[in-house]
Amino acid sequence: MNETLLNMAQFQAFFLTFTRIMATLIHVPVLAGRSVPNPIKLGLGLILAILLTPLNFIEFGRLGLDLLSFSAAIAKEILIGTLCGYAANLAFGALSIAGNLIGLGSGFAAAQILNPALEEQGTPLDQILVVTSILIFLAINGHHSFLLGLQKTFEVLPINSALPRVAQEPLLRLTASLIKIGVQMSFPLLATLLLTDLALGLLARVAPQIQVFFLGIPLKIGLGIFALAIAIPALSPLIRTIFGNIAPHMLLLVGK
């Protein structure tokens, strides 16, 4: 009988660990986005759960939960995982905001296409910026930092523990700060496009016979691509900082 209870407790600890991991991973485009096949997502979640379950089983205890308590524990792990994944999703969302603003000013907004990384519509410049940021994320071992942060969430908030007290101020402050960073990243390119519009406006006043509208579209597209190529190396340190703060932000949102 004791052996049966032990096995049931082990299974429940494993399943709760797996639930939180998957609820977090699905919000990270690099590890579990739409472009990642489902078997790879499940395989990564199972491997991480196998590695982390022995550590969590010590805190979980050796007696299994009844069905009602186990169902409530699953719901709590889904909420905690979603909260942790939100911090990672915000980092990529800030870059998407910057790309969309740049695309809106350069004329690329008319060519809305599906961004498979973020699973949403975006401009071609948004695609370029997000793909480049994903490469930077992998180059600086951002996935390692994210997985370490995920492991620390189990240390500060073990499975089947009480739900964290989510303070509205840190959550709103984090969301606002990353949105602000996304807007700030687009400022240099938007300034370039604004100067282009001013130059075209002056040209229209000086030479009204020139079709400024037809001249401005390809000019702004070319300048947008050129400015983005120059801006990406300059923005790399900021992108590194955004990705480096994913793990601390995850712990901040769970109340630690």
Mean pLDDT of each 10-residue bin along the chain, 256 residues long: 57 88 86 78 89 71 73 88 86 81 69 57 72 84 87 84 71 83 82 82 79 76 78 82 86 74
What's the alpha-carbon Rg for the chain, to the nearest Å?
23
The pLDDT score that the predictor gives to residue 21 is: 92
Q: What is the pLDDT of residue 18?
A: 92
**pLDDT at residue number 160:** 77
Residue 55, classified by CB atoms within 10 Å of its CB into exposed (0-12), middle (13-18) or buried (19+), is middle
- What's the total number of domains in the chain? 1
Q: What is the H or E stretch that residue 240 is in?
A: helix 212-244
Range of the domain at 90: 2-253
Residue 5, pLDDT score: 43
Element (H, E) at 136: helix 124-139
Closest CA relative to residue 48, chosen from 134, 147, 125: 147
Q: In this structure, what token pair is assigned to residue 243?
A: 């990705």
d(C-alpha 13, C-alpha 57), whole Å:
6
What is the value of pTM for the model shown?
0.77
**Based on the number of CB atoms within 10 Å of its own CB, is 15 exposed (0-12), middle (13-18) or buried (19 or more)?**
middle
